[in-house]
Amino acid sequence: MSQMNSVAGQDMRDMFSAATSWLEKSSADIDALNVFPVPDGDTGTNMMLTMRSTMEEAYRAPDHSAAGVAHAMARGALMGARGNSGVILSQIWRGLAQGLEAKESFTAADLAAALQQSAQIAYKGVSNPVEGTMLTVMKDAAAAAQAQVDTGNEDVIALMEATVNAAGESVANTPMLLKVLKDAGVVDAGGQGVYTILEGALRYLRGETELMRLRKPQIIVSDIPHVATAPQSIAIDEVPYGYCTEFLLKGEKLEPEDIKKRLVKKGESLIVVGDDSAVRIHIHTLTPGNILQLAAKLGTMHQVSIRNMDEQHQDFLEMQKERMPTTDTAVIAVAAGDGLADVFGSLGAAAVVPGGQTMNPSTKDILQVVEATFSDKVIILPNNKNIVATANQVQSLTEKKIMVVPTKTIPQGVVALLAFDYEAEINTNAEIMEKALSSVKTIEVTRSVRATKINGLKIKRKQPIGLLDGELIAVGDTNLEVVNQLLSRLGLEKAEVITIYYGEDAEVAEAEQLSAGIMEKYPQLQVESISGGQPHYSYIISIE
């Protein structure tokens, strides 16, 4: 295992940039952890947007020392903080910056001390800190880092491993500390966010950036059994939620501690953080006007957001009531390219989620389309082997009944949709559609992104290559050569229909030449050519 004794500023910046991408991958899953009925159900999104702002500032920093990068991160986080979780996150970076003051690079001991500082500053920013939240996770993680240093360990990677493990255990334990989490059977969303950021940083230090592209963060599951409560039963408590009021106050000689004292009796969930020139304020209050009046005397307000939480709560309850069952099943397909979207639309898909090779949609992307469709029963066609697992996660996030037919290519998605029976119910349809997949073969032609040897083929960079049902088995100097190699391997005596979807970078003349060549060679076949408009793949060819 490689060791690392110090981390320079630019590496620190890249490490947290990788952590931000890692968090982005699970922001929808973290959103889904939020405990109803507190209407701030967007912790993952808020932390992700706060991190984006944090890193944008870090990349603009002229000073590339660890201290310079940390200060820029703290500034970016304060300016871009969203929601309760984002504001606390900004305090974590502020503590880190204080801990790394004047350091060109940092050692394991420096990092442990800075993480301790992060935890302390985060606690100070909240008017009444609650255990079982991201504060606890940060404190436990920092304690584990310090324990590593106390045993004489100087390896930054080993220190981060201990930190991440402790954060994970702390997240799993949050329901033991906070009854509302235990009742809902979920771990704390903000704590999960902190764990995911730390884990992303560790994976970067271990050199796992390629792996991070292919994988997605795990949501920690608490081993506490839970009894689901009906949403209505939680609403017995008639205390109004009021308004979630947030803004950034800019001015001169601002005093965060003084502002906090003046606001502490004026609402709940108060967080006041910042410095003498910019202060971020978050409060749940029944009278947002009074808060803004007070703030207006102190400086100028920016990014003001006032959300009526009672309305959000009512909307949620109404939404629960409105979910009346409908008999129809909607089919949603994933596809990249206007032409392919039109194909699925014309065959009766209720919606198309944009995505495919190199642009896999997130669970949230698919979930949003699922929630927006007319039906309570939805069949998803991922049309890509990298999207099947994502589609499978949607069921756990929605009240609707979801079936995923594991289509791995566009042609499989098309035959599945053609097999759809409007008279049948969803389970039967999913079976019929899945059976249809074996009736089609898929050829995909693209260009190699690097020189390599695979399956006995020697491939040059940018050379046309061909895949048959996902397996790379042909290479040639032209697209036509590759397609012909693959067709000759297929034995087309029993085939009936060939459909050629040509991509956004394919020449129409070449596509016509290709279909004419196939017709000449196999006169018994019905050959159709369609503009798919898909990126990266010159041709996707369906053989039925």
pLDDT tens digit sequence for 107-145: 999 999 999 999 999 999 888 889 999 999 999 999 999
In single-letter form, the type of residue at position 187 comes to V
Q: What is the mean pLDDT of residues 71-100?
A: 93
Q: What is the mean pLDDT of residues 326-353?
A: 84
Q: What is the mean pLDDT of residues 324-341?
A: 77
Q: What is the mean pLDDT of the chain?
A: 87
Q: What is the mean pLDDT of residues 333-352?
A: 87
Q: What is the mean pLDDT of residues 299-321?
A: 73
Higher local confidence (pLDDT), 210 or 314: 210
Question: Which pLDDT band holds residue 238 (cuts at 50, 70, 90)?
Answer: very low
Residue 352, pLDDT > 70, answer yes
Higher local confidence (pLDDT), 169 or 359: 169
Q: What is the mean pLDDT of residues 72-100?
A: 93
| Helical pair 189-205 and 83-99, crossing angle rounded to 10 deg | 40
Return the pLDDT at 9. Answer: 95
Q: Is 317 exposed, middle or buried (0-12, 13-18, 19+ CB in 10 A)?
A: middle
Q: What is the mean pLDDT of residues 411-426?
A: 89
User: Which domains can be identified in the chain, with CATH numbers?
Assistant: 6-216 (1.25.40.340), 243-314 (3.30.70), 323-437 (3.40.50.510), 441-543 (3.30.1180)
Return the pLDDT at 200. Answer: 97
Residue 225, pLDDT > 70, answer no
Return the pLDDT at 409. Answer: 93
Return the pLDDT at 233. Answer: 30
- 350 neighbors 373 (Cβ within 8 angstroms): yes
Return the pLDDT at 299. Answer: 94
Tell me the pTM: 0.56
Return the pLDDT at 520. Answer: 87
Dihedral over Cα of 123, 129, 135, 141: its sign: positive
pLDDT in tens, 248-281: 999 999 999 999 999 998 988 889 999 999 999 9
Which of 325-334, 467-476, 491-500 bottoms out in mean pLDDT, i.e. has the lowest?
325-334
- Kindly report the backbone phi and psi dihedral angles of residue 67, in degrees, each rounded to the nearest multiple of 5, phi listed first: -65, -45
Residue 232, pLDDT > 50, answer no
Q: What is the mean pLDDT of residues 208-219?
A: 86
Q: What is the mean pLDDT of residues 58-75?
A: 95
Q: Which residues pair with 468 in a beta bridge?
A: 443, 471
In single-letter form, the type of residue at position 70 comes to A
Question: Which pLDDT band holds residue 312 (cuts at 50, 70, 90)?
Answer: low
Residue 459, pLDDT > 80, answer yes
Question: Which pLDDT band holds residue 362 (cuts at 50, 70, 90)?
Answer: confident
Question: Which pLDDT band holds residue 41 (cuts at 50, 70, 90)?
Answer: low
Residue 544, pLDDT > 60, answer yes
Return the pLDDT at 224. Answer: 55
Residue 1, pLDDT > 60, answer no
**Residues 396, 398, 403, CA angle at the centre, nearest 5°?**
70
Contacts of 33 (CB under 8 A, 6+ apart): 43, 44, 186, 187, 188, 189, 192, 219
Q: What is the mean pLDDT of residues 180-203?
A: 91
Element (H, E) at 196: helix 189-205
Which of 193-207, 313-327, 442-456 bottoms out in mean pLDDT, i.e. has the lowest?
313-327
Element (H, E) at 204: helix 189-205
CA Rg value for the chain: 27
Q: Which residues pair with 453 in a beta bridge?
A: 458
* 172-175 contacts, C-beta under 8 A, 24 or more apart: 172/220, 172/221, 172/222, 172/223, 173/132, 173/222, 174/132, 174/133, 174/136, 174/137, 174/222, 175/132, 175/222, 175/224
CA distances from 81 to 9, 45, 93, 161, 272 (A): 23, 11, 11, 27, 12
**Percent share of the chain, pLDDT over 90:** 53
Query: 5: helix, coil or strand?
Result: coil
Q: What is the mean pLDDT of residues 403-422?
A: 92
